[in-house]
């Protein structure tokens, strides 16, 4: 893991932040109905963090190994346009996405929790992992969230990036109550 100062410097450059799904946006559990439909539980605060990060100008993307319609719906709900599912070679898609968006690797971040994510963690400019990630991810990521996957880790990372870019106060300001008459 990098020093907090180096993490901030790396996060400050980001134009693109990519997230894995299972174990990052969810707790990693896989739920199936009797008909075989996959169901996932997403954290609303993580989603709000993603909305805020997009609002300050960071493009978001998803690269995940599984393929589930509920991911498509959730990302559509959050306005995430770049969604890649059923991906075995995440590094290949990472490079294709960089080329498509004309973004350098040092301007891209990735958050992943398991071994399938390690190559992208190594290739990007800023990497993060949830608190309950696989040990090799813990050792490789620039930033280790204090929260587990699906339980606020994504929100924490989104806020870290916004703070590093000096945009967190502005991102939060639109949600804060207006000053009272006595304070004016």
Domains with residue ranges and CATH for the chain: 4-173 (3.40.50.1000)
| pLDDT given for residue 27 in this prediction | 97
Q: What are phi and psi of 143, to 5 degrees?
A: -125, 130
- Using the predicted structure, report yes or no on whether residue 133 has a pLDDT greater than 80: yes
Instruction: Report percent pLDDT > 70 for the chain.
Output: 98
Helix H, strand E, coil C: the string for the chain is: CCCHHHHHHHHHCCCEEEECCCCCCCCCCCEECCCCCEECCCCHHHHHHHHHHHHCCCEEEEECCCCCHHHHHHHHHHCCCEEECCCCCHHHHHHHHHHHHCCCHHHEEEECCCHHHHHHHHHCCEEEECCCCCHHHHHHCCEECCCCCCCCHHHHHHHHHHHHCCCHHHHHHCCCCCCCHHHC
Q: φ, ψ for residue 28 (rounded to 5)?
A: 95, -10
What percent of the chain stands above pLDDT 90?
Answer: 93
Give the count of beta carbons closer than 10 Å to the beta carbon of residue 182: 5
Q: Evaluate whether 113 touches 137 at the Cβ level (below 8 Å).
A: yes
Distance between CA 11 and CA 15 in Å, rounded?
9
Q: If pLDDT is split at 50, 70 and 90, which confidence band does 181 have?
A: confident
Q: Say if residue 156's pLDDT is above 70.
A: yes
Residue 11 has pLDDT above 80, yes or no: yes
What mean pLDDT do residues 45-74 have? 97
Q: 0.75 exceeded by the pTM? A: yes
Using alpha carbons, select from 166, 18, 144, 161 the residue that is nearest to residue 80: 18
Please report the pLDDT score of residue 184 as a whole number: 58
Asked whether 113 and 104 are in contact (CB, 8 A), the reply is no
Q: What is the mean pLDDT of the chain?
A: 96
pLDDT at 49 over 90: yes
Q: What is the pLDDT of residue 183?
A: 61
Higher pLDDT, 66 or 2: 66
Q: Which whole number is the average pLDDT over 141-150?
A: 98
Looking up tokens 């916004």 gives: 162
* pLDDT at residue number 180: 75
In this predicted structure, the answer to whether residue 117 has a pLDDT above a threshold of 70 is yes
Residue 1's pLDDT band, with cuts at 50, 70 and 90, is low
149 with 28: CB under 8 angstroms?
Answer: yes
């Amino acid at each position: 893991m990098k020093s907090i100062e180096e993490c901030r410097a790396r996060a400050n450059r980001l134009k693109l932040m990519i997230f894995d799904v299972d174990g990052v946006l969810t707790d990693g559990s896989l739920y199936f109905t009797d008909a075989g439909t996959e169901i996932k539980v997403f954290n609303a605060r993580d989603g709000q963090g993603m909305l805020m990060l997009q609002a300050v100008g960071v493009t978001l993307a998803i690269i995940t190994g599984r393929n589930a319609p509920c991911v498509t719906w959730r990302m559509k709900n959050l306005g995430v346009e770049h969604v890649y599912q059923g991906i075995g070679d995440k590094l290949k898609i990472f490079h294709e996405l960089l080329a498509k968006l004309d973004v350098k690797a040092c301007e891209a971040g990735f958050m992943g929790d398991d071994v399938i994510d390690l190559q992208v963690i190594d290739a990007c400019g800023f990497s993060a992992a949830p608190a309950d990630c696989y040990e090799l991810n813990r050792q490789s990521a620039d930033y280790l969230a204090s929260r587990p996957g699906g339980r606020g880790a994504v929100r924490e990372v989104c806020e870290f990036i916004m703070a590093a870019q000096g945009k967190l106060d502005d991102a939060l300001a639109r949600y804060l109550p207006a000053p009272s008459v006595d304070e004016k």
